[in-house]
C-alpha cells in the first residue's frame, strides 16, 4: 500500500489508521499549492493521473486507487479486522457508528473546511472572509448536536468500549478545529488530547513531520 499525504491534512486520518492497523505501507509526502514541475507536487501530471483533484490523501493498493479519506479509512479497517478500527458490535450499534461518522463528515467538519478554503485554499479573488462568522455559527451548532449523538456513558470511546474509526475522526476533526481557532469545548479538547497520545497517533505524527 502507498499513501500520498501531507502533514495534518485529511491524509493524517489515513496515516493514523495505517499505524493502528499494523499493515505494511509506504508514505509519500506530497506538497500542495506548489509548482507542478516539482516531482512531489500534487499538481504534477503523474499525481493527477491518480487523483484528478490534485488533493490528498490518495491510497494506492495494487490496481485500486482511493481518494476519499473515509473510504480509505474503511478500506484499511476492513483489511485489518483485528485492529478494532471497525468494532465487533451489534447491527444497531453499527447503525449508530454510521450515523456518527457521517455526521462528523457532513456537519462537524464542513465549517472547518469552509473556513480553510476562504483562508488559503481558494484563489484570493473568490475568498469571502465575511463567511468566517457563518462557519463559527455552523460549527457551534454541530457541536451542540454532537453532545446529543454521543452516548452518556463512562466509556471514553464513542462506540462501545474500545477505540475505533469514529474516535479517530473525532480526534482529528477537533484537532483541525483547534488549529483553525474555533471555540472547542474543554471536553472535546480533552478527547483530542487523549486519542492523540495513542502510540499509533504518535508514530503517525512522526511520519507526517
Q: What angle do CA 157, 192, 77 make, to 5 degrees?
A: 55
Contact status, residue 203 vs residue 19, Cβ threshold 8 Å = yes
Three-state DSSP class for 140?
helix
- Residue 105 burial by CB count (10 A; 0-12/13-18/19+): exposed, middle or buried? middle
pTM comes to 0.95
Question: What is the reported pLDDT for 68?
Answer: 97
Q: What is the CATH number of domain 2-84?
A: 3.40.30.10
**Residue 149 belongs to what H/E stretch?**
helix 132-149
Number of residues that make up the chain: 209
Question: What is the reported pLDDT for 151?
Answer: 77
**Dihedrals phi, psi of 22, to nearest 5 degrees:** 85, 5
Rounded to the nearest 10 degrees, the angle between the axes of helix 199-208 and helix 11-21 is 130
**Dihedrals phi, psi of 155, to nearest 5 degrees:** -70, 145
Three-state DSSP class for 70?
helix
Tens-level pLDDT at each residue, the chain (209 residues) = 999 999 999 999 999 999 999 999 999 999 887 788 888 899 999 999 999 999 999 999 999 999 999 999 999 999 999 999 999 889 999 999 999 999 999 999 999 999 999 999 899 999 999 999 999 999 999 999 999 999 777 889 999 889 999 999 999 999 999 999 999 999 999 999 999 999 999 999 999 98
Fold annotation for 91-205: Glutathione S-transferase Yfyf (Class Pi); Chain A, domain 2 (1.20.1050)
DSSP annotation of 130 reads: G
Question: What is the reported pLDDT for 39?
Answer: 85
Which strands form 58-61's sheet, in the order they lie side by side? Answer: 26-29, 2-5, 58-61, 64-66
- Residue 64 burial by CB count (10 A; 0-12/13-18/19+): exposed, middle or buried? exposed
Question: What is the reported pLDDT for 127?
Answer: 96
Domain ranges of the chain: 2-84, 91-205
Amino acid at each position: 500500500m502507498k499513501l500520498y499525504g501531507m502533514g495534518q491534512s485529511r491524509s493524517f486520518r489515513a496515516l493514523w489508521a495505517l499505524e493502528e492497523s499494523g499493515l505494511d505501507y509506504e508514505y509519500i509526502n506530497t506538497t500542495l499549492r506548489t509548482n507542478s514541475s516539482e516531482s512531489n507536487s500534487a499538481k504534477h501530471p503523474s499525481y493527477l493521473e491518480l487523483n484528478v483533484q490534485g488533493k490528498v490523501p490518495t491510497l494506492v493498493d495494487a490496481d485500486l486507487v482511493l481518494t476519499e479519506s473515509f473510504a480509505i479509512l474503511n478500506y484499511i479497517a476492513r483489511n485489518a479486522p483485528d485492529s478494532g478500527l471497525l468494532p465487533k458490535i451489534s447491527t444497531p450499534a453499527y447503525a449508530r457508528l454510521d450515523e456518527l461518522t457521517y455526521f462528523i463528515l457532513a456537519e462537524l467538519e464542513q465549517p472547518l473546511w469552509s473556513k480553510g478554503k476562504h483562508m488559503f485554499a481558494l484563489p484570493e479573488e473568490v475568498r469571502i472572509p465575511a463567511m468566517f462568522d457563518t462557519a463559527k455559527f455552523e460549527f457551534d451548532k454541530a457541536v451542540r448536536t454532537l453532545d446529543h449523538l454521543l452516548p452518556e456513558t463512562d466509556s471514553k470511546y464513542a462506540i462501545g468500549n474500545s477505540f475505533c474509526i469514529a474516535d479517530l475522526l473525532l480526534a482529528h476533526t477537533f484537532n483541525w478545529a483547534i488549529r483553525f481557532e474555533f471555540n472547542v469545548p474543554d471536553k472535546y479538547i480533552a478527547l483530542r488530547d487523549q486519542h492523540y497520545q495513542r502510540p499509533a497517533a504518535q508514530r503517525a505524527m512522526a511520519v507526517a513531520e
